[in-house]
Amino acid sequence: MTNTASDFSAFCVAGTGSGDGKTTVTLGLLRALATRGVRVQPFKCGPDYIDPTFHNIATGQLSRNLDGWMMGTEQVEKSFAAASAGKSCAVVEGVMGLFDSSRPGTLKGSTAEICLTLELPVVLVVNARGMAGSIAAIAKGYAEFHPELKVAGVVANKVGSDNHARILKEALDMAGMPPLLGYLKRNDKWILPERHLGLVPSTENPKTGEWFDALASEAEQCFEIDKILELSRIDRPVFARDKVPVTADARLAVARDEAFHFYYEDNLNALRENGVELIEFSPLRDQLLPDNIGGIYIGGGFPESFAGELENNQAMREAIREFADMGGIVYAECGGFMYLAEKIIADGQTYEMCGVVPAEIDMGKQLRFLGYREVKTCCDSFFGPAGTVMRGHEFHWSSEVFTGKEHPAFHFRTASQSGFSGECGYINNNVLASYIHLHWASCPQVLKKFTASLCRRK
């Protein structure tokens, strides 16, 4: 990256693994900085949609995903620089453990890859429950595993007392390891409920402003925030906005409510920058689609948690089916794919859905798939010609059973496969849906084709 002045702090809150408290520590720092009046920009490593919604609440700023496998190095740098413009601090929350990646033997898709790409120092979160001197061994392993990665310090989570924190600090100091920069004591009120290997979304797990303020107050007392900012001074990334003439004139209806809210902010931003007006609507509450739209985009979420309400809103289900039957562009990902199906079967109950995709969705009791996908379109579509390649992420507990003719949308491969091994999704006329959350930074020409298709439809 090409950088200029050094009046900017940026760091990554990384962990030794999932569940170590990265999100809680990140939220405490974000809220404390925002309360101080610091212009702070949050980010999330990896494909996670839920953590960024908590970032948004903590700071009032839209959090951005940074993912080396899906986006590529250039797009990661561009997104970081663009979102950080005008800010005085950037805080990046890691994903899983610091060195966990798309497959063994590579850093691609890891938190470490993002830190190395953006030259970010690491604040390492360690679950210190029942631990004393061992924290020094853990810090040594992470600090020395990759010679180009800088661990600026450690934050201990689930600490038993102030005296316990003192012991941890001395252990790090005496071993010559990165310093203890803060700690959080064990306290059930800081716990964020989990579901399906991730947090319960903020829309279903509302934390009040008082909760964020209390967490920020704890961070001010127990974190050395000024020292963290000083240790994380880096050169400000230069952002040069692409001078692309915007000539599109299209309106896209975007589903947004408690049931559907998983979208990559960079994807939505890219649509706006290409001249697409995004009109939000609620499949839970609205009776009609927005007027004069060129297409519908239904993102992921947890429709199974709101299946009864979605079924009861028959007017919206019929409006979407009619729009699709008339040749309207309909694109859906994961939860949106489930909603377009004929039925969702969950906890022994069957719920009627849109009937646009000839399939029934069965909610399972265990994970069906979790990981990266690279896809190649099976036929021409509003994303481009057959053979168009894109990358994304897939994570679901449900599975589909087609009741009519299957029209697969994609050939796919995982991050560890060398060739495309199967078919997935559904495409028919102007309807395209799958379980995969695509990131269009992996194939920018898709956006131009999609925008042009929306304009023609209008």
Catalytic residue status for 334: yes
What is the distance in angstroms between the CA of the first residue and the CA of the last residue of the chain? 40
Cα 410 to Cα 104: distance, rounded to the nearest angstrom: 26
Give me the half-sphere count of Cα atoms (radius 13 Å) on the Cβ side of residue 452: 9
**Annotated catalytic residue: which of 45, 222, 334, 424?**
334
Judge whether 354 and 340 are in contact, CB under 8 Å.
yes
Alpha carbon separation from 456 to 205, 277, 294, 321, 434 (Å, rounded): 41, 15, 8, 20, 24
| Distance from the Cα of residue 54 to its chain's centroid | 11
Report strand pairing: 357-363 vs 198-199: unpaired
State whether the Cα torsion 182-60-201-198 is positive or negative: negative
The helix or strand, by DSSP H or E, that contains position 444, with its residue range, turns out to be helix 444-457
Residue-by-residue DSSP string for 286-326:
-SSPPSS-SEEEE-EE-GGGGHHHHHH-HHHHHHHHHHHHT
Cα 290 to Cα 425: distance, rounded to the nearest angstrom: 26
Cα 266 to Cα 132: distance, rounded to the nearest angstrom: 42
Local structure of residue 62 (DSSP, 8 states): -
What are the residue numbers of the active site?
Answer: 334
